Structure 1
């Protein structure tokens, strides 16, 4: 992923990241409050040797003490030293338990031993540190050899720093705990956000489509929560941004398959509920508003929707023509004031794929192309059934609908593979249900930068001077 991908993830999941950070900070605060404060006090002991005073003896003595300091540091936490401390201070602890609260260290290349004691009672911490240093001095004199002549100890431990009573606890370190909690929560939030984005295979933006396929994106339809209430937005609210999206798509169609004489398209998707039927209907209306003679065919012979959307009689339609029960001119119904005509699906047959792939259907497609400027076939999704792939091969062009936030990347690949398998050309991709807010927000004029046409803003229908001219007479001259 690129830097902009991570920025988009942060923008998209900022609430999750902030929530986890606050939870971690709260947990660190509660942990600090519930933790018993502990205090630390340190005493310091100097190790020296008895010598005759010559230079050679002084050098040897210094080297000896430095070498012995590490040994004495280990002795400081043994029962030899700690049992007298427990007896003197009357501590209710064993030597092993007391040793857990004592830290003995020696600065490198020195003859100094630091004895640090942590305890919940600050005065007791100081008393233990001083007692350990005194007991260590006594214990070392007992185990070290004495001078053969004078009988004096060869090594002497002198306390050079008395442990004082600490005024502030060393733990819990509340600022440090809160800072660490914030860092952990922030890292956890970012990690979960990135992992969720990595595992999420849904297509959410144009860039996801571009990473999946090289097909051109010819339009984007913004999400409308009231789409079920007003599916024909171009007719119901022609000045809305969503209606403008369909007019932009209409304009972009003139750049598709310019070498094709027939302007017929199959509108399909990979799975259901991606908005293909509403896209087909609104596109057909916008084409008719631009002056084209348009036929909208409901070729979804399994779950037809066009008749309901267009509010027409759908009892007789395409299936009746295919089986010879009706003539085309008897079942095609005009719609609206323009030159839009609708052919409903008719009765649902038991063999939709066979009917759509029949020679009779090929003849009907030729008849449609000869009569109308643009023919839009609303077809079922590609992955569940093969109807759309079969019809797209005969029609010669397919428009693939991809719903943002719903369609999986592998589903889009599967739909493309289904069309490629039968040799059906794909004219382009139309994204639907695009969000209008957030990091993946879409502006309906966005696709104009790719040279597919112009956008006009929220000012009603596009001017006629830029509307695509689909008249068959104009194409024949060209």
Structure 2
């Protein structure tokens, strides 16, 4: 009788090998950074540049009026900058209807100074300055109609000039902001996604029984 060939020795431990094609666990981070940078670059390239110009008006108190009252009137006149009455008066000089003009005007006041800042925005720098000057002139004229009753006077402090540079983000800045936002999003994805179980990270199979043959339970574990 011929002897059967010897069976190869079975190693003491079996390891589940991780496929080489599995993506690293941190792949969402660089993907989100690249997507964010691409979005920011596209926005900076395709977005229409926006310009702003600002003119200033100041409230002055009369002889018999408390100077502190000028601060309160400055707050009131600052709210009137975007009112229908003011914008209706300014629409001729600004060259825009009231509805469009309201979206291109912003007023700011300070609790420490009787100053009103009127800012005009437009895709054209000259138009932005025209809007700011027209609205400031309108609110100054409106305040003059009630100057005798209020005891304060609103005067134009400075004239708006066409800006040289837009306020909209440039292409490099847009790409940098987009990449930062993408990195933040990728980091959040890594934090909130479910973690893999220990079985997926290389669990070990117990050593087979003596004699070199694996038990049925071990064979089932290997098949998995």
Report SS of the residue matched to 2:211.
strand
How far apart are the structure 1 equivalents of 2:128 and 2:51? 7
How far apart are the structure 2 equivalents of 1:192 and 1:64? 54
Equivalent residue runs for 1:47-66 within 5 Å: 47-52=59-64, 57=65, 60=66, 62-66=67-71
How far apart are the structure 2 equivalents of 1:86 and 1:116? 15
**Relative contact order (alpha carbons < 8 A, sep ≥ 6): 1 or 2 greater?**
2
How far apart are the structure 2 equivalents of 1:159 and 1:380? 94
Equivalent residue runs for 1:215-254 within 5 Å: none
Equivalent residue runs for 1:205-284 within 5 Å: 205=201, 265-266=208-209
Matched, 1:380 2:201: no
Residue in structure 1 matched with residue 45 of structure 2 by the alignment: 33
CA-based RMSD: 2.9
Report SS of the residue matched to 2:162.
coil
Matched, 1:179 2:176: yes
TM-score (norm 2): 0.77
TM-score (norm 1): 0.38
Residue in structure 1 matched with residue 91 of structure 2 by the alignment: 86
Report SS of the residue matched to 1:166.
coil
Residue in structure 2 matched with residue 45 of structure 1 by the alignment: 57
Report SS of the residue matched to 1:106.
strand
Residues 260-309 of structure 1: per-residue CA shift (max 9 Å, x gap): xxxxx44xxxxxxxxxxxxxxxxxxxxxxxxxxxxxxxxxxxxxxxxxxx
Residues 311-364 of structure 1: per-residue CA shift (max 9 Å, x gap): xxxxxxxxxxxxxxxxxxxxxxxxxxxxxxxxxxxxxxxxxxxxxxxxxxxxxx
Report SS of the residue matched to 2:128.
helix
How far apart are the structure 2 equivalents of 1:190 and 1:381? 41
Deviation of 1:380 (Å): 3.3
Residue in structure 2 matched with residue 247 of structure 1 by the alignment: none
2:33–2:182 contact (8 Å) kept in structure 1: yes
Residues 171-220 of structure 1: per-residue CA shift (max 9 Å, x gap): 13444432221122112223334444x343252446xx5xxxxxxx698x
Residue in structure 2 matched with residue 344 of structure 1 by the alignment: none
Aligned residues: 202
How far apart are the structure 2 equivalents of 1:112 and 1:89? 22
Residues 66-100 of structure 1: per-residue CA shift (max 9 Å, x gap): 01111101111112111121123432x2x232112
How far apart are the structure 2 equivalents of 1:401 and 1:65? 85
2:41–2:172 contact (8 Å) kept in structure 1: no
Match of 2:160 among 154, 158, 163: 163
Report SS of the residue matched to 1:12.
coil
Deviation of 1:18 (Å): 1.6
Matched, 1:117 2:120: yes
How far apart are the structure 1 equivalents of 2:179 and 2:75? 40
How far apart are the structure 2 equivalents of 1:34 and 1:132? 30
Deviation of 1:145 (Å): 5.2
When residues 48 and 100 of structure 1 are mapped into structure 2, their CA distance, relative to the original with a 3 A threshold, is same
- Bigger Rg over Cα: 1
How far apart are the structure 1 equivalents of 2:44 and 2:134? 30
Residue in structure 1 matched with residue 34 of structure 2 by the alignment: 22
How far apart are the structure 1 equivalents of 2:157 and 2:130? 15
How far apart are the structure 2 equivalents of 1:193 and 1:145? 63
Residues 228-269 of structure 1: per-residue CA shift (max 9 Å, x gap): xxxxxxxxxxxxxxxxxxxxxxxxx7xxxxxxxxxxx44xxx
Deviation of 1:156 (Å): 1.3
